[in-house]
Amino acid sequence: MLQSFMQNFLNALQWGSFYALIALGYSLVYGVLLLINFAHGDIFMVGAYIAFFLATFLLGQYAFAFPFALPPLMVFGITVVLTMALTACVGVAIERVAYRPLRRKGASRLYVVITALMCGLILENGNLLFLGANRRSFPELLPGTVYSIGGMNVSNVKIVVIIATLLVFVLLETIVRKTKLGMAMRAISYDRMAVPLMGIPLDTVIVFTFVLGSSLAALAGVLFAIAYPVLEPYMGALVGWKAFIAAVIGGIGEIRGAFLGGFLLGFVEIFVAAYFPSTLRDLIAFSILLIFLSIKPTGIFGIARATKI
Amino acid sequence: MGRFTSLILYGFFCVVVVAAAQGRWVNPYILQIAMFVGINVILSASLNLVNGYMGEFSVGHAGFMAVGAYVTSVLNVWLFSTTKVFGPAVLDPSTAVYLFPATLLLGGIGAALAGLLVAIPSFRTRGDYLAIITLAVNYIVKSSIENMQVIGGARGFMGMSGIVNAMHEAVNLPWILIWVLVCVGFTVWVIHRFVNSTYGKGIVAIRDDEIAAEIMSVNTPRMKMIAFMLSSGLAGVAGGLFAHILGYINPGTFTIMKSTEVLVMVYLGGMGSLSGSVLSAVSLTLVLEFFRPLQVAKWVVVPLLLILLMLFRPEGIMGHREFTDIFPRLRRLFSPKGKEE
């Protein structure tokens, strides 16, 4: 009993890690721009696909083989870093092409949200169009080892995922609290009118936010592809919506909130599936969410802002 | 005269369309597209009430549509046809002609009650948090239907084409088309009258500033409740019609994708512009149909076109304006209460 509970606990930690990583991207962008970046789930998908092509290329299964075989850990490291960089470029490109012109024109933020939805659709279906509908299986980058601790099965992938998420959280908190750019980000979310007047370059900060958010989604993509090695064009859609929900439960715009909300959603989903029929998973998980938001309308860390008239 | 012009014009238009369908001057394919256009007009106009006029961000409209579709279809199949699940028909199938509007209305009422799921949390929750609640309601509705094995669960529900045939046999007219036209007219009329009434002013006041509206003695919870219930009820009616056009529904039809489609129509037309919603629902449905030969590429081309449109007209086709604001002369024809004279 306890064993199965601990096993589920561990699974929930891993599952929640993915939600947390993606939710962080939503929250960062929301905090700075007040924009729900609905393309974010698909950026996660793009990250996973970029990782797939990089990994197969580095392993010599694609196009041509290297004269020397790289050690698997090195392949893993290079894949992660390059994927994060390339996906960040995709995120920034979307911001540059689609969101910034709208922002310059002073369009209502809901129109930007619709544009974000459209960008997501383009990424999904563009992928389907150019790469075809067949699923791709991700190569095994980390040789699967399963440790058995007190009757629990702990794979090395789980450990990597959970530790990476914790590291990202600490790193992000440091960036936002301690660096100048982080201070600028917080300033923008506090008062977006006054910030440009203080000589802070708004666009630079926004681009930096998108770089951070997209590279986190890419990291989630790589780790997800390693843990569940099947890729398909629509993999980002549902995970993206749910991560958005996680970000909101935590109090959108808050880094701690996104992190906690992601884990919370992961726990609810895994434990509902463990103790109830799994077809009821969505029903129960979303009912809990509905009740929670009715009681605490601004999420865990969200602060109700008093509006002055 | 001005009072009835729009009604007479719309009635004339309906008669022409029905005659065209009855005389088989147009092929069934075009007819079906026309009916889908009607459904989308109802959906986008009703969502515009919440998203445009009240300024909330509801992303779960398809959930209410699903409730309406299922309530109407289950009622009709239970009442008018003999099935394994529900046993023999309760009423004579030929009475379906007369009772169809009643079941449609009941579907709408069911959806309006589902709208309470969103309306009650909306008293305290606003903005993006409310968006999540609507999203959650959409998932809850879809998931509960999937778990109800009596009405088919994830396999879907069918048998509505039998009802449509029974209606044809009783009186030989294209009944579903007629009801789509009637409901479109009704929706547009109701929303037009609603937003121009004191209730509508209250809702616009909530969009502009909720606290100020409350101080000015607008009963905000009541307004929100009415707006959400009206909007979801109309979506339910649209769902009921949708189910009878296709003759088969399954929960997979009413996902976030469908909600997104309606959202796009609302924002494409312009927030808080009824004629914009109608215009964009018609044009987007036709454009999507026009690009059907492109297959997968359709969903790349259409979003690309929409993004370009957004870049050039960031406030939607009509902005906040109505048709009569652009062509003031039309107002003489359509003045609602003879205000302009």
- Cα separations in angstroms, A54 against A65, A81, B186, B216: 13, 11, 57, 61
Which amino acid is it at B312?
F
**Of A106, A110, A128, Cβ closest to residue B267:** A110
Residue B340 lies in a domain: no
Residue B186 lies in a domain: yes
For residue B137, list chain A residues with Cβ-Cβ distance below 8 A. Answer: 286, 290
CATH 1.20.120, domain A2-133+147-295, yes or no? no
Q: Which residue of B has its CA nearest to A286?
A: B136
- Structure confidence at residue A80 (pLDDT): 92
Q: How far apart are CA A187 and CA A206, in angstroms?
A: 12
- Structure confidence at residue A17 (pLDDT): 94
CATH number at B89 reads: 1.10.3470
User: Burial letters for A116-146: b for 16+ Cβ neighbours within 10 Å, e otherwise?
Assistant: bbbbbbbbbbbbbbeeeeeebebbebbeeee
- Structure confidence at residue A137 (pLDDT): 86
Residue B122 lies in a domain: yes
- Structure confidence at residue B35 (pLDDT): 93
CA distance B148 to chain A (A): 11
Q: How far apart are CA A172 and CA A166, in angstroms?
A: 10
Alpha helix stretches (DSSP H) within B247-273? 256-269
Domain that holds residue B184: 2-334
CA distance A289 to chain B (A): 7
Residue B162 lies in a domain: yes
CB contact under 8 A, B263 and A114: yes
Average pLDDT, chain A: 87
Size of interface A-B (CB pairs under 8 A): 132
Q: How far apart are CA A244 and CA B201, in angstroms?
A: 33
ipTM confidence: 0.83
Q: Which helix (H) or strand (E) holds B114?
A: helix B96-119
Q: Which residues of chain B have pLDDT under 70?
A: 1-3, 331-341
Among residues B78, B80, B76, B103, the alpha carbon closest in space to that of B91 is found at B80
- Cα separations in angstroms, B36 against A118, A300, B72, B167, B281: 22, 42, 18, 20, 10
- Structure confidence at residue A4 (pLDDT): 85
- Structure confidence at residue B334 (pLDDT): 57
SS (H, E, C) chain A: CHHHHHHHHHHHHHHHHHHHHHHHHHHHHHHHHCCCCCCHHHHHHHHHHHHHHHHHHHCCCCCCCCCCCCCHHHHHHHHHHHHHHHHHHHHHHHHHHHHHHHHHCCCCHHHHHHHHHHHHHHHHHHHHHHHCCCCEECCCCCCCCEEEECCEEEEHHHHHHHHHHHHHHHHHHHHHHHCHHHHHHHHHHHCCCHHHHCCCCHHHHHHHHHHHHHHHHHHHHHHHHHHCCEECCCHHHHHHHHHHHHHHHHCCCCHHHHHHHHHHHHHHHHHHHHHCCHHHHHHHHHHHHHHHHHHCCCCCCCCCCCCCC
Q: Could you give the number of structural domains in chain B?
A: 1
Among residues B256, B69, B243, B250, the alpha carbon closest in space to that of B153 is found at B250
Q: Which residues, 6 or more positions from A160, have their beta carbon under 8 angstroms from its beta carbon?
A: A142, A223, A226
pLDDT tens-digit series, residues A96-143: 998 998 888 887 788 888 889 899 999 999 999 888 888 888 888 777
In which residue are the tokens 């469908």 written?
B258
Query: How many other C-beta atoms are found inside a 10 Å radius of the C-beta of residue A300?
Result: 16
pLDDT tens-digit series, residues A33-47: 888 888 999 999 999
Q: Which residues, 6 or more positions from B237, have their beta carbon under 8 angstroms from its beta carbon?
A: B42, B68, B104, B105, B107, B108, B111, B183, B187
Residue B339 lies in a domain: no
- Structure confidence at residue A307 (pLDDT): 55
Residue A268 near residue B136, CB atoms below 8 Å = no
What confidence tier does A309 reach under pLDDT thresholds 50, 70, 90?
low
CB contact under 8 A, B311 and A102: yes
Residue B301 lies in a domain: yes
Residue B201 lies in a domain: yes
For residue B296, list chain A residues with Cβ-Cβ distance below 8 A. Answer: 125, 128-129
- Structure confidence at residue B338 (pLDDT): 39
| Residues in a beta bridge with B83 | B87
Selected residue of B139, B224, B311 to mutate for chain A interface (largest A Cβ count, 10 A): B139
3-class SS of residue B334: helix
pLDDT tens-digit series, residues B70-106: 999 999 988 888 877 777 777 887 888 888 999 999 9
pLDDT tens-digit series, residues A197-253: 988 888 899 999 999 999 999 999 999 999 888 898 888 888 888 898 888 888 877
Q: Which helix (H) or strand (E) holds B250?
A: none
CA distance A98 to chain B (A): 7
Q: How far apart are CA A172 and CA A167, in angstroms?
A: 8
Q: How far apart are CA B167 and CA B100, in angstroms?
A: 9
3-class SS of residue B87: strand
CA distance B15 to chain A (A): 37
For residue B299, list chain A residues with Cβ-Cβ distance below 8 A. Answer: 121, 124-125
